[in-house]
A and B are shown apart, each in its own frame.
Chain A
Amino acid sequence: MPRIVVDVMPKPEILDPQGKAIAGALPRIGLTGFAGVRQGKRFELTVDGDVTEEVLEQARHAAATLLSNPVIEDVTRVEVLEEDGQ
């Protein structure tokens, strides 16, 4: 069944304590090439049938109302997943 992927990221101006902690842990495993980390969320909405424009609109609505909180997060992607899962 086709899937729609929704990516949600903390807003740039919001401090991301989890990302900061991850950034602090990277050097501990010897990885020093990264200046920062921000942690977001990825949702996969499985569609029963074809992905019509109406279904995509529903996904955008879900992304804006339930999957993200616009005070602290941005929806950065609402897209149909291709067959290979990319």
Chain B
Amino acid sequence: MTLETPLIGGPQPVAGREDRALDGVRVGVVTFPGSLDDRDAVRAVRLAGGSATQLWHGDHDLQGVDAVIIPGGFSYGDYLRAGAISRFAPLMEQITAAASGGADALPVLGVCNGFQVLTEAHLLPGSMIKNNSLHFICRDQRLRVENAGTSWTSDYADGEEIVIPLKNQDGQFVADNRTLDELEGEGRVVFRYVDGNPNGSRRDIAGISNSAGNVVGLMPHPEHAVEAGFGPDSSARGAVEVRGGTDGLGIFTSVLKKLVG
């Protein structure tokens, strides 16, 4: 682990990046009051080879970005319900409109609180309630990629497993049985918990997509597993150094490659 890279601070330039082909792809990362992982998401986009643009929730302009990430954290302090107030932010109106146009619509990824915002905005079905244990859970979590056909998972294979951090209190995915059957039937369960269900989520669901596959939400955090030295202690691909897990990087390379075409 190098000590030159500060853990806290503005996004740092990424050294030693070889692949410049994805440079032209601009991914916007939205910051709400109370967002925590926006800078990590910015860094993940850059480590994957793309360019990141920081967006402010109160703006009305998406600045022409090619994709959007709604990061984790506690937007508006989780007041009312997680994501409930953020949903009505001016920028969310732009995102909702741009994401709703079918397969070629704006790719949008919601992580953790971002997933909660996407369900509150009705871009994704279901909702999150408190973990069945009532505890805040923070651990490295193994997931299975159930659908590698979405805008955010094409760099994985169907059935591939990954290990990325899970850290939340309101992480229990719930929906009625009809919605769950629909999600399963249409291949819209994108990630499923394996080796045990950490929070009581229905049918072990960790992440889902809309029917077009451009909008994906998941509770665990791929942006915290993108750089050796700062990731989980394990990887589904085999043994890694301490904090060497980078299984989350594929989420970001997936969307960049899709946008480059």
Genuine A/B complex: yes
Contact across chains for B131 and A17 when beta carbons are under 8 A apart = yes
Chain A residue with minimal CB distance to B87?
A66
Contact across chains for B129 and A17 when beta carbons are under 8 A apart = yes
- B242 adjacent to chain A (CB < 8 Å): no
Contact across chains for A71 and B119 when beta carbons are under 8 A apart = yes
Min distance, Cβ A59 to any Cβ of chain B, angstroms? 16
Total interface residues on A, using CB and 8 Å?
A: 13
Contact across chains for A21 and B134 when beta carbons are under 8 A apart = yes
Chain B interface, >50% SS class? loop
For the complex, give the distance between the alpha carbons of A38 and B133 in Å: 16
For B84, the chain A residues whose CB sits under 8 A away are 66, 69
- B80 adjacent to chain A (CB < 8 Å): yes
- B130 adjacent to chain A (CB < 8 Å): yes
Chain B residue with minimal CB distance to A71?
B127
Known contacts A66-B88, A71-B119, A72-B174; A15/B132 CB under 8 A: yes
For window 195-227 of B, CB contacts with A under 8 Å fall at 200
Total interface residues on B, using CB and 8 Å?
A: 21
Chain A residue with minimal CB distance to B131?
A17
Contact across chains for B80 and A72 when beta carbons are under 8 A apart = no
Chain B 158-177, CB-CB to A under 8 Å as 1, else 0, gives 00000000000000101110
Q: How many residue pairs bridge A and B at CB < 8 Å?
A: 39
Contact across chains for B120 and A18 when beta carbons are under 8 A apart = no
For A35, the chain B residues whose CB sits under 8 A away are none
- B81 adjacent to chain A (CB < 8 Å): yes
Chain B 120-158, CB-CB to A under 8 Å as 1, else 0, gives 100001110111111000000000000000000000000
Contact across chains for B174 and A18 when beta carbons are under 8 A apart = no
Contact across chains for B132 and A17 when beta carbons are under 8 A apart = yes
For A66, the chain B residues whose CB sits under 8 A away are 80, 84-85, 88
For A18, the chain B residues whose CB sits under 8 A away are 130, 134
For A1, the chain B residues whose CB sits under 8 A away are none
Min distance, Cβ A69 to any Cβ of chain B, angstroms? 6
For A71, the chain B residues whose CB sits under 8 A away are 119, 125-127, 174-176
Min distance, Cβ B93 to any Cβ of chain A, angstroms? 14
- A67 adjacent to chain B (CB < 8 Å): yes
Contact across chains for A72 and B88 when beta carbons are under 8 A apart = no
For B125, the chain A residues whose CB sits under 8 A away are 71
For the complex, give the distance between the alpha carbons of A21 and B132 in Å: 10
For the complex, give the distance between the alpha carbons of A25 and B174 in Å: 25
Min distance, Cβ A51 to any Cβ of chain B, angstroms? 23
For the complex, give the distance between the alpha carbons of A72 and B120 in Å: 11
Residue from B84, B88, B125, B129 with most neighbouring chain A CB atoms (10 Å):
B129
Contact across chains for B134 and A69 when beta carbons are under 8 A apart = no
Contact across chains for B134 and A17 when beta carbons are under 8 A apart = yes
Given contacts A66-B85, A72-B129, 13 further A-B contacts (CB under 8 A): A15-B174, A17-B129, A17-B131, A17-B133, A17-B172, A18-B134, A21-B134, A69-B120, A71-B127, A71-B174, A71-B175, A72-B127, A72-B174
Q: Which residue numbers of A lie inside 8 Å of B, CB to CB?
A: 10, 13-18, 21, 66-67, 69, 71-72
